C-alpha cells in the first residue's frame, strides 16, 4: 500500500506543477512549444509538441506575446528569427547541440569559396550565423524535397549532417551533392548491427529509422540486400514516425532515434509496443530542460534569446524557404 500511496502523491505533485506552469504561461501570454525529444513531463504540459519543422511553423504563426521553446538552443534561435517582435525564452540556455556545433559560419564561408555558385542547403540543426550563410534550410522531414527543388545542374552543399546528407543523395540521385562530415553524437551511436540484430530477433516488428542515425543509410542498403525486411523498414523524420504510428497494424515497432520520441509514439497508439533500438540513445542537451527550469523560466523570464538583427534578416530568408516546402507539420499534445 505504501507504494500505491507514494505513486498517488507523485501524480498529485505532477498535477500541481502542471497547473502552476499553465497558470504562469497564461499570465505571461506565453505559448509553450516542445520538441519530441523532451522529457515526458515537458511534452505533457506543452501547448504543442512536434519536430523541428512543426515548431518552426508554429513559431512563425503564433500570436502569443511570448514563445517558450523547450528544446535546444538552435530551435529557440529559429523561433526568434521567425518572430523577431516576440519575446522568445528557453528554460536552459546551455542546451546546445553536437550537430549544430559541427560547423561554424567561418567554416561554411571557406567551403563556399571552394565551390563558387553552389547552392547551400543547411539542416535546421545549425546556428543562426550558419543559417545566414545558407540559401535554404531543411529538416529531416523535407530535406529531399528541398534538394530536389534546386536545378539539377547546380552543385549543392549539404550541411552539417553526413547521414541525412547520404540519405538525401540516395533518395534524389543527386551526383553533384557535396556533404559536410558532421553528425549528431546520439544518432551516430545507433549502429547498423544493433538494428539488424533487433530486426532478426523481432520478425513481427516494423522498423522506424531516423535518417540522422548512423544506421540510416545502411538500413536502406540492407533492405536492398535482404539483411533487413524491406516491407517493414521505414526511414522517417520524427513527425513522420508519429504519423505512421497512428495507423500501423504491427504489434511492435523498433524505433531508431532519440528515446524521448517514444512518449509521443506510445500515446499515439497504445496498442502497439514501441521499443528503442538503442535504449541509451538519450540526448543530454534535450534533457537539460527540466520541470524546475521550465517553471523558473516562466516565473523570471530567463533565459531570453537574442539574434543579431542583420544575421536574423539573412537567416530568415533561408528558414522561410524551408517552411514553404512540404510536408505538412505533424504535431501532438495540443491543448
Q: 274, 253 in Cβ contact below 8 A?
A: yes
Distance between CA atoms of residues 50 and 71, nearest Å: 10
Distance between CA atoms of residues 181 and 252, nearest Å: 34
Mean pLDDT value of segment 178-195:
88
- Three cell numbers, residue 138: 531543411
Residue 308 has pLDDT above 60, yes or no: yes
pLDDT at 191: 83
What domains lie within the chain, and their CATH numbers?
2-95+287-313+326-332 (3.40.50.10800), 100-183 (3.40.50.10800), 187-282 (3.40.50.10800)
Mean pLDDT value of segment 276-286:
95
Distance between CA atoms of residues 175 and 138, nearest Å: 19
pLDDT digit string, tens, across residues 58-68: 999 999 999 99
pTM over 0.95: no
- With cut-offs at 50, 70 and 90, classify the pLDDT of residue 335: very low
Mean pLDDT value of segment 45-60:
92
Residue 3 has pLDDT above 50, yes or no: no
Helix axes 291-300, 2-28, angle to 10 degrees: 30
| Burial class, 6, CB count within 10 angstroms (exposed 0-12 / middle 13-18 / buried 19+) | exposed
Residue 208 CB partners (closer than 8 Å, separation 6+): 234, 236, 241, 244, 245, 253, 254, 255, 256, 257
Mean pLDDT value of segment 233-255:
94
Residue 71 DSSP one-character state: S
pLDDT at 327: 54
Distance between CA atoms of residues 280 and 127, nearest Å: 26
Residue 334 has pLDDT above 50, yes or no: no
Mean pLDDT of the chain: 90
Residue 244 has pLDDT above 50, yes or no: yes
Amino acid at each position: 500500500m505504501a507504494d500505491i500511496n507514494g505513486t498517488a502523491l507523485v501524480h498529485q505533485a505532477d498535477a500541481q506543477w502542471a497547473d502552476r506552469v499553465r497558470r504562469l504561461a497564461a499570465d505571461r501570454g506565453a505559448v509553450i512549444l516542445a520538441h519530441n525529444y523532451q522529457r515526458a513531463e515537458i511534452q505533457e504540459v506543452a501547448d504543442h509538441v512536434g519536430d523541428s519543422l512543426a515548431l518552426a511553423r508554429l513559431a512563425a504563426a503564433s500570436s502569443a506575446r511570448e514563445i517558450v521553446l523547450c528544446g535546444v538552443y538552435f530551435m529557440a534561435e529559429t523561433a526568434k528569427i521567425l518572430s523577431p517582435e516576440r519575446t522568445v525564452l528557453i528554460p536552459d540556455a546551455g542546451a546546445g547541440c553536437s550537430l549544430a556545433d559541427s560547423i561554424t559560419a567561418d567554416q561554411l564561408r571557406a567551403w563556399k569559396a571552394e565551390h563558387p555558385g553552389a547552392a547551400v542547403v543547411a539542416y535546421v540543426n545549425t546556428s543562426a550565423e550558419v543559417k545566414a550563410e545558407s540559401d535554404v534550410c531543411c529538416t529531416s522531414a523535407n530535406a529531399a524535397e528541398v534538394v530536389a527543388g534546386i536545378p539539377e545542374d547546380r552543385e549543392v552543399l549539404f550541411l552539417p549532417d553526413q547521414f541525412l546528407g547520404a540519405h538525401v543523395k540516395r533518395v534524389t540521385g543527386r551526383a553533384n551533392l557535396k556533404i559536410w562530415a558532421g553528425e549528431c553524437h546520439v544518432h551516430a551511436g545507433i549502429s547498423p548491427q544493433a538494428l539488424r540484430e533487433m530486426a532478426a530477433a523481432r520478425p513481427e516488428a516494423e522498423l522506424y529509422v531516423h535518417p540522422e542515425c548512423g544506421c540510416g543509410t545502411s538500413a536502406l542498403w540492407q533492405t536492398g540486400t535482404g539483411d533487413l525486411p524491406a516491407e517493414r523498414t521505414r526511414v522517417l523524420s520524427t513527425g513522420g514516425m508519429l504519423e505512421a504510428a497512428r495507423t500501423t497494424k504491427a504489434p511492435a515497432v523498433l524505433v531508431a532515434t532519440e528515446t524521448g520520441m517514444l512518449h509521443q509514439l506510445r500515446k499515439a497508439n497504445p496498442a502497439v509496443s514501441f521499443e528503442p533500438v538503442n535504449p541509451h540513445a538519450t540526448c543530454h542537451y534535450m534533457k537539460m530542460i527540466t520541470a524546475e527550469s521550465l517553471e523558473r523560466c516562466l516565473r523570471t523570464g530567463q533565459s531570453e534569446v537574442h539574434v543579431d538583427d542583420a544575421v536574423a534578416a539573412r537567416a530568415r530568408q533561408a528558414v522561410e524557404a524551408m517552411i514553404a516546402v512540404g510536408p505538412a507539420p505533424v504535431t501532438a499534445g495540443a491543448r
